[in-house]
Structures are given as C-alpha cells and as structure tokens.
Structure 1
C-alpha cells in the first residue's frame, strides 16, 4: 500500500460550500481509490476562522478584545480540531455551536494561527492558516514649524510613517512613498491639526501654529482690580504711548481664582468666580487704541475659588489630594484648598474655556501661570484621573489641548514657568523640552531674588541681576533651539531683599538681550514700574 500523502490545491479538493452533487462525486472517487488500495488523503478548504481574518492588523484595543472561533459542525467536532499560535498549541473549547480558540495575550508583532482537523469527508483533512499583526505603536509624525514671512498662504510640511494616512484639519493629504507631505493653508488659520492614522487605527495628532514666531513684546503686569485704578492704569498706558512698552499683561483669572471680567463660562458663574472688575471688550479696545497688545494671564491650577467649591460639592477629584484623601496643603504656604487637580477633566476644561473666551474677546495672547503641580514631595500628593501619565506629560497635554481648543482664534499661547524648570523638569512638572513644542512662547520667571545662593555659580543672585538672568536664560535658549517658540522672560521690577532701581531692571533686560531675547514682561505686584529702566522700542 502506498503511504498516505497530502495534496494541496488538488482538483479533488472541496470544502463545505461544494454542491451536493460535487460532494457525492468526490466521495465516490475517494472510495474507489481506497478499494483499489491507494491511501490518499485530500486537503480540503477549512471550516473558516471567524473573528480574525488573514492579513488583518490589530491595535491594542482590538488585540485585547479579539475572539477567534470555528463553526462546530463545519470543523468536524471539538475533538477533531488542533490549533497553534506561532507554533505553540492553544486550547480549543466548545461554546454551543462554536469552537472557541483560546488565544493568549497577543504581543506586538506578526503572528500565525494554524487550525487543522480531519474533514467529515472520507480520506480528507483541512489546514487553515491566518496571518495577522498586532500594532500598538502610534505612527511617527514630524511636522516642520512653518516659515511665515508674508501675507500669503502658509505651507505645512512634514513626514509620517509610510503606512499612515495623513489629514490636516480633517482633509486627507497626499503622502509620498517616504511618508512626506505638504499642504498650504490660508494665512490667518492660526492653528491647524495634523493627524496621522496607521493601518491598525493608532493615531498621532499635532497642533501646529501657522503664525510663525511671536513678534517682540515688552509688557508690564497689572491685576484686574489694578486696571480699575485710574493712576495705575494711566501710568502703564503712558509707558505704552511713550514707546517703552508695546503690550499690557492684564489678569483674566488671578491667584484667588477670581475672573476679572463678567465671564460667561458656566462654571465661573456657578462658583461665583466671575467678578466683573473691568469690562473686557472696553479694556482691550483702550489698550489697542494706545498702541499695545493685550496679554490675558490665566492662573490655571492655583485656584482656591474652584477648589473650595469642588470640595464642598463632594467633587474631591478636582482637588490635589494627599495619599489619605485630604486636600494637599500646597507646600504649606498656599493654604489647604489652593491647588486644583490638573489631571481632572472638569478643571482642565474650565481653564481652556476661559482661554477660548478671552481670545474671542480680543485678547492677543493667552498666558498661563501656575500651570504646574504644587511644590513639595511628589509622594505626598495624588492626582485622580492621571492614569499612567507623569505629571509633566499631563501638564504638557493640557497646554496642547488648549492650543487645539483655541482653534481659529488668532491669540498666541504662552506658558509661565519656574526658572529651575530648564534643568529640573520634574520639580514642579514643567518639562520645557516638551512645552516648547505645544506653545508659542515660554515665559520663565527668572527673578534674581528667587534664586538660592550659588545657583549658576552666582554667590548671591539677588545682588547680581545680570549674571543670574543671563546664565539661567541660556538654558532656556538651548531648550528652544530648533523651534519657533520664543522665550519671553518675566523680569523683576520690585525689591525683595536688595533694592531694585532702574539700573537693576535694566541689567536684567540686557542679560535677556545677550541671549537674543528682546521680549520681556515686567512684574510688580502693585503695577508701579520704573520707566527710567526702559528704552524706546526700535522697529524691527
């Protein structure tokens, strides 16, 4: 007797979908061959693996939820089926009219599922192979900061993974074999959203500014209440009219959580934060008429107004907590209910809604402050909802989401940061290398009085304004290199220890200029500025 052998793609192969006449003919042929003493085994088409198709690509979610099974009758019964995944046997279990293939946890990469069994047709068997891939990695996406030099269209160029589909603001763009793409958008679009989606459905999104670099700004801070004071407001506007300042930083939401104008953001009105100290449209118009732009400062996560309201309402997740579930005291000097939770969706949306509203009211810039975690040991605080992200990643995503939320509004987006953040990103969760990618400018607070002895090799920073500012800003310049993100430092125009007059303020301005930073924002809590320290702005 001849040894049995398999024949693939035989003219005698058949599967469960063959016509009854064809099946009877093949059975008769097989029977005749058997009576003649020929030991043939015919390879038929398999019963069909359901739930997983050959050549499919699964993302992480699909890979975790995939279920593969066979039809019991088509497979010839439970005891008849043998299955392997990448060469290792996997269990086959009966589940009613189905045979479930017990797939293990699927790892990244290519996999091969093989199902074998004996057909109900005499002298026939089947072997079915399903090849598939698990891909949980988001596609690569690099977008070059566009050069904006004139009033014409802006070209967005970049490169994505070769298997990714790319869209800009929802419009699919052509991608060449290397993954490169270009598209032009009208000037004034402000921000575009570039999205890459790979075969598995993994997505990478980047918000790209189409405005180019933020033009030079030389500004001074004033509070919402201060703006209502004729003397303080008049002195700042006089510096603008004399050509020494070209911007005013006016508070939108301050350290107490109060919104300076009559905000229509629902949560601001609900918690009593909308104070109406000034008329936003009128203030913006007055500053514009004087020849300056308006920077709206939003104190983001130091917000005792929202924290107190949330705690009283039992919404504890909106507050930074201790491991015991109590409000974190904010480093001991801010108060028990001072910091809201930057990982909470409601808290994030509240600040973003204020940013969008201020932009729609005519503010030229939105400048976040206290966009950080509280200072203190990380082990002593919890951020409900943060998931697997680090505090630095959560803060960065908040800023990126704000840029997206602002959409077509022309306002620039800035982020105020500690001076130490350039070299210590985890200290208060401000990663400068990441933040420069999602903002128009970084505003480091490099006040000489706030540095400890010996920082940057300066024995007493408070008495050496040029040295400490020049050296600290050099680190920020390195972080922003290769991007269009500007560094706009906060400079000290107040005395805290040493007396600061026009000479000390001017030294800081010179130190910034030494790092090719011609923009700055002056801070004085009482909004009293030393105009003698300022030079008239020269057109650039």
Structure 2
C-alpha cells in the first residue's frame, strides 16, 4: 500500500513538473551544430546558463528568449508554442576601430571608418557614448537629469536621431560597442562635487589633463553610469564597454572609504556586478578595459583592477596592450615598441594562465598611433599586423584598434 502511494506521488510530481515547465531548448553553434555550454539565456523570468549539452529549461511561461555567448552574435526569438526551441548562434569575432565623440559626429571620419569594412577585416566599431571629457554624442536624458550635460562645441549639436544612426550601421553588418568612460568625469564632478575625488587637503583633485574624477566608492556615481549604459543598450548597441573603471593612479587622494587594495578591488568588482545585473534584461555583452600591466602584476596595480576577479562580472576583458604603454617593458624585453607582437602575445598568455579563461573571453586594445614613450616611431602596417596576428593566435574574441584621432589606413590593416 505504502509503495503504491509513493509511486503515485512520484507520478504526480512528474506531471506537476511537466505542467510547470514552460519552455525547454538547446543552444548550438550555427556552423558546427555543436551545443554551446554556458550560453546566457535571458527571458522575463531571469537569466540562466545552458548546461554542458547546451540545454536549458524555463519553468515559467515566457513569450521570447534572448541568448548570447562569448564568440558569437547575440540572438533573440519569439515563442509561438511550447515546443522545444533550438537557437543557433552565429560565430563572430569583432575586429574594431575606435570613434570618439567627435569621430562619430564627423560624417567624413565616420564614413572612412565604415568604408574599412569593405576593404579590410574590420567588422565592428567602438563608439564613445560618454567620452574622456564626459561628452555624449546624443542628447542624454541621464546627463540632463543629473545636471552633467556637456557639449562637444556650440557648432556641433548632439546627433538628432542617434538610434537611427546606429540602425544604419547595423544594416551594414557592423557590430557596435558603446564605450563609457566611468570614473573620469569632469562635468559630473562640476555638477556634484560631493561625489568627486579630493586631494590631501580636501580640495577637488584634477589629473594631468586638468580633469576631475568621481569617487569609485560612490553608489550614486555607479547608478548614473548605469543609467547611461541602459540608454546605450536601449538604443541598440551590441556591447557595453566600461573604460576608466578604476581608481586614479595617484597617491594621497581622499575617497569615501579607506584607499587600500581590498577596498579598491571590491569596489570595482561590485560596480561591474551591478552593471551586469542592470543590463541583464537587454542581452548585451558587458566588457571593461584594463591596464596592460594588470595582466602581469600580482596586486591590483594600485587602481582596483585585479585580473583574477574580473571574469565573473564580465563577458569580455579588454586589456590595453599598447606597446608604448609598457613603460618598464616586460621580462626579457626592455624596448616594447621594437616587438609589438611579443608584447601582445606574451601579455595575453599571462592573462590566460592567471585567469584560466579561454582566449575568447579577451578582446585586447591594440596600438594604431605613433609611439610617445620610446623612439616616437610610426606604427605602420607591420607593427599593427604583428599585434593583430598575436591576438588572433591566442584565440581572442577579435581585437580593437585605438587611434585618438580616428585615423586609420586600409593598407595598414589585415585583409578579410
């Protein structure tokens, strides 16, 4: 009698489970048809990961599913029934050039960058959404609301329909990355000095460019930057990339909490975790830029960036591997600009070993500008392609070229 009752209860539990289960499915690679483990599946019920077989179950009625995984384009599907769903993701490695606020505003510079996609390996753009001087290329409601709106110039008003511009770039099959400069923000410091970094005397601190920084411990500063990130996600960007997500590299400054390594690292990771949570409904990739030496240093480099802590909150880690930035060289190489490929390759090797993450979780910034620290050499086709080859060899999720003047020559870049 008892055995029969237990069997009946087991059958009932199974029926209830099946009734509750609203959607099941599998995520696969479009080219190989192999399952993708660990893909992020986003619905109105929340975010879950696929299992080792690429499968997922959602125990709640939903009308649509969005999916992303490093190394692939994100995808969405509307549901019309309760049959199992197969989502095929397209493999994709972004190879990008950078456009500043001025670069995206300038029709000539923008068109030149877009034209590279016709003749080179370029298939993506990194676009300033909030640049180094706190300027946005569009009319930001988040900036207006907090009193931190800043214009490029009186002659260059905000782009009237920024989402339409992004849609036109997407129509050209370009992957779009929104760069948001976080804690370096002079306009926000002017609007809210109570959230800014102070010097030892308690006065507003300015960096070498005369610009003020915000306190990375301030949750109000976090919230404002996440408001901008949400704006970018809603406008259609594929990825949100946070830059200057760090403490200033200057001693003797005052912050809201004690300035020690544990506190700094915890603040940066917590901000990135908050960003991941806020952006979860939009199924956008989340990335952050880090100093190149962070891949080598065993501490937080004094700025809160400790590479072992960054894999969890981020889809992509983007070390800035400009040879000119390696002022002290690396072990066995004191003149980095003479061997740009080595700088990129050896630094990525360090990053992979220390984090135990696959290469696809990294997309480095590479140097496409004249050296400023050693012999002032021009970074030509050989220097640029040595870097891109090193990144590709390490299996990274593509790469990004930095030129502050937004000037790129097709002949210097890798071909398709």
Q: TM-score, normalised by structure 2?
A: 0.75
Shift of 1:156: 7.1
1:449 maps onto 2:331 in alignment: no
Greater fraction of residues in helix: 2
1:188 maps onto 2:66 in alignment: yes
Partners of 1:255 and 1:211 in 2: how far apart? Answer: 38
Partners of 2:379 and 2:389 in 1: how far apart? Answer: 15
Structure 2 spans left out of the alignment, 5+ residues: 1-25, 49-54, 59-63, 70-86
Partners of 2:88 and 2:216 in 1: how far apart? Answer: 28
Partners of 2:368 and 2:326 in 1: how far apart? Answer: 15
The DSSP-based 3-state class of the residue aligned with 2:331 is helix
| Paired residues of 2:352 and 2:359 also in contact (CA < 8 A) | no
1:355 maps onto 2:205 in alignment: no
Partners of 1:517 and 1:509 in 2: how far apart? Answer: 10
Match of 2:245 in 1: 371
| Paired residues of 1:252 and 1:296 also in contact (CA < 8 A) | yes
| Paired residues of 1:299 and 1:369 also in contact (CA < 8 A) | yes
| Paired residues of 2:29 and 2:89 also in contact (CA < 8 A) | no
Match of 2:97 in 1: 220
Partners of 1:212 and 1:438 in 2: how far apart? Answer: 22
The DSSP-based 3-state class of the residue aligned with 1:149 is strand
1:493 maps onto 2:368 in alignment: yes
1:277 maps onto 2:145 in alignment: no
Match of 1:93 in 2: none
Match of 2:268 in 1: 395
Match of 1:426 in 2: 300
Partners of 2:395 and 2:47 in 1: how far apart? Answer: 38
Shift of 1:346: 1.2
Shift of 1:356: 0.9
Shift of 1:437: 1.1
Match of 1:257 among 111, 134, 157: 134
Shift of 1:484: 8.3
Match of 1:197 in 2: none
Given the superposition, is the C-alpha separation of residues 484 and 509 from structure 1 closer, same or farther in structure 2, using an over 3 Å criterion? closer
Q: TM-score, normalised by structure 1?
A: 0.58
Greater fraction of residues in strand: 1
Match of 1:200 in 2: none
- Cα deviations by residue, 1:410-461 (Å, 9 ceiling, x for unpaired): 2111101100112334222111111111101011111011112442321211
Partners of 2:196 and 2:91 in 1: how far apart? Answer: 34
- Cα deviations by residue, 1:380-421 (Å, 9 ceiling, x for unpaired): 122215799611110111011001001210211110110011
| Paired residues of 2:198 and 2:254 also in contact (CA < 8 A) | yes
The DSSP-based 3-state class of the residue aligned with 1:376 is coil
Counting matched residue pairs gives: 345
Given the superposition, is the C-alpha separation of residues 448 and 267 from structure 1 closer, same or farther in structure 2, using an over 3 Å criterion? same
The DSSP-based 3-state class of the residue aligned with 2:286 is strand
| Paired residues of 2:126 and 2:179 also in contact (CA < 8 A) | yes
Shift of 1:481: 2.2
The DSSP-based 3-state class of the residue aligned with 1:417 is strand
The DSSP-based 3-state class of the residue aligned with 1:390 is helix
When Rg is computed on C-alpha atoms for both structures, the one with the higher figure is 1
Alignment of 1:305-316 (within 5 A): 305-311=187-193, 316=194
Shift of 1:524: 0.6
Given the superposition, is the C-alpha separation of residues 460 and 484 from structure 1 closer, same or farther in structure 2, using an over 3 Å criterion? closer
| Paired residues of 2:120 and 2:410 also in contact (CA < 8 A) | no
Shift of 1:277: 3.1
Q: Which of 523-532 and 388-397 deviates more?
A: 388-397
- Cα deviations by residue, 1:453-480 (Å, 9 ceiling, x for unpaired): 4423212111221122211121122234
- Cα deviations by residue, 1:17-53 (Å, 9 ceiling, x for unpaired): xxxxxxxxxxxxxxxxxxxxxxxxxxxxxxxxxxxxx
CA RMSD in angstroms, aligned pairs only: 3.2
Given the superposition, is the C-alpha separation of residues 154 and 244 from structure 1 closer, same or farther in structure 2, using an over 3 Å criterion? closer
- Cα deviations by residue, 1:38-91 (Å, 9 ceiling, x for unpaired): xxxxxxxxxxxxxxxxxxxxxxxxxxxxxxxxxxxxxxxxxxxxxxxxxxxxxx
Match of 1:383 in 2: 255
Shift of 1:288: 0.9
| Paired residues of 2:147 and 2:191 also in contact (CA < 8 A) | no
Partners of 1:287 and 1:215 in 2: how far apart? Answer: 17
Shift of 1:489: 0.6
Match of 1:414 in 2: 287
